[in-house]
Amino acid sequence: MGATGHLGTAWRKRDYHRQWLWREANRLFDFFQNRTFNPLGGFHELDAEGRPINPGNPVRGIHSTARMVHCFSIGSLLGRPGSDDIVDHGMKYLWEKHRDHERGGYHWSLDNAGLLDASKQGYGHAFVLLAASSAKVAGHPDADRMIADVTDVLETRFWDDRHGAIAEEFEADWTPVPGYRGQNSNMHLTEALMAAYEATGEKGYLDKAVSIADLIIRRRAGENGFRVPEHFDENWVLDKGYQGNEMFRPSGTTPGHWLEWARLILQLHALGGGRHAWMPEAAKALFAQSIALGWDKEKGGFFYTLDWNDEPAKRNKLWWPMAEGAGAAAFLCEHLPDDFHETWYRRIWDGIARHFLDQDRGGWHEELTEDLVPSYTLFAGKGDLYHALQACLIPLYPATGSLTKGIVESGVR
């Protein structure tokens, strides 16, 4: 049965729901815009109350800097006052502080004294490309040089033609850090490559995105029942026993990434003119598996990780899988409309509204216990705008590309 069957008009088409999403997006912009701005460069991460963490000497991670540039490039395209200054501020910090002026590439993190972690990671470079691409669409004058710079680094240092994906990490002097390949960095690079293709029109970006998706989703996820494997050796052989950083490389599988890939695969299918017939069915399967295996059927919310027996491993509930679930469901409702996708679009937003929105202090709770109580074992507070903002805005625009492209092409901002 279609999504206009007994469920009635899809929520994404209803004026009230759209207004609700706009209000929540604005609440997020309001919460982060001035609180995160660090006059000394870069951006503060925030505690649960919305106060800067360690304001005297905060850590600036490259992904956090780049995500703020991306989000406020979206704000600029929407016409939000103050957004241009934040994009300028972030672009300057990426170029002058994160970038290695002598050896090329971008360092992972800094504080007021200088470099904290000088490593050069694929995950961080993916977000630099996303930031620069979004800034270009928003008209930033320095975007072209950053796109050219990070593209050169990705192609000459990270890209591995043998497997059609990127290496994970190098030391500051470009000595390889051996033994590991990860899907997470490649997933975010897929998002960034699509944004770069939309911003520049250069098809090479899209070709690389298809290559990564083919490796990680069609082949590796397809071999594992559309449970997306996270961790591999240098030959992209699955490492089920890998133990890593709980925030960036948790062991087992991560249903939130299955949801994220479901949206990205449909976006890639649309940008590629529908040439890859496997993509819609893969997206459908990824979403269905995330619901069947990752959703807590008793209490609600997505478990953070599962073991390889499909049992919950880390049972806490994070905000970003909910956000990615909403975005994935929105894309699926557009491309593969049926009552299952519409029902889960609504159910995920019900869970967000009831448990994750901090109505008293603003922002979203980034971490809940298994019992849906705010907690802070992985995340110190409210450090991220990116996932939640995109969840609110993705359903408002055509499911054919990045938000920046949708905002520009819709003519309604």
Distance, in Å, from the CA atom of 254 to the CA atom of 306, rounded to the nearest integer, reads: 6
DSSP character at residue 299? T
**Residue 123 · residue 188 · CB < 8 Å:** yes
Sequential DSSP letters for 126-139:
HHHHHHHHHHHHTT
Select from 202, 278, 186 the least CA-distant residue to 236.
186
Select from 180, 209, 210, 316 the least CA-distant residue to 256.
316
Q: What SS3 class is residue 258?
A: helix
**Residue 123 · residue 76 · CB < 8 Å:** no
Residue of 17, 63, 365, 387 marked active site: 387
Q: At what angle do helices 319-335 and 278-289 cross, to 10 degrees?
A: 140
**Residue 340 · residue 408 · CB < 8 Å:** no
Distance, in Å, from the CA atom of 37 to the CA atom of 64, rounded to the nearest integer, reads: 12
Greatest Cα-to-Cα distance within the chain, rounded to the nearest angstrom: 62
125 has catalytic annotation: no
As a residue count, the chain comes to 413
**What stretches of 175-223 show up as alpha helix (H) in DSSP?**
183-200, 203-213, 222-223
φ, ψ for residue 138, nearest 5 deg: -80, 0
**Cα-based torsion angle of the residue sequence 208, 214, 215, 216 in order, rounded to the nearest 10 degrees:** 100
Select from 145, 127, 124 the least CA-distant residue to 136.
145
Residue of 70, 107, 257, 355 marked active site: 257
Q: Rounded to whole angstroms, what are the CA distances from 308 to 53, 255, 315, 325? A: 36, 12, 14, 21
107 has catalytic annotation: no
Select from 390, 82, 408 the least CA-distant residue to 264.
390
Q: Any idea which residues carry the catalytic annotation? A: 257, 387
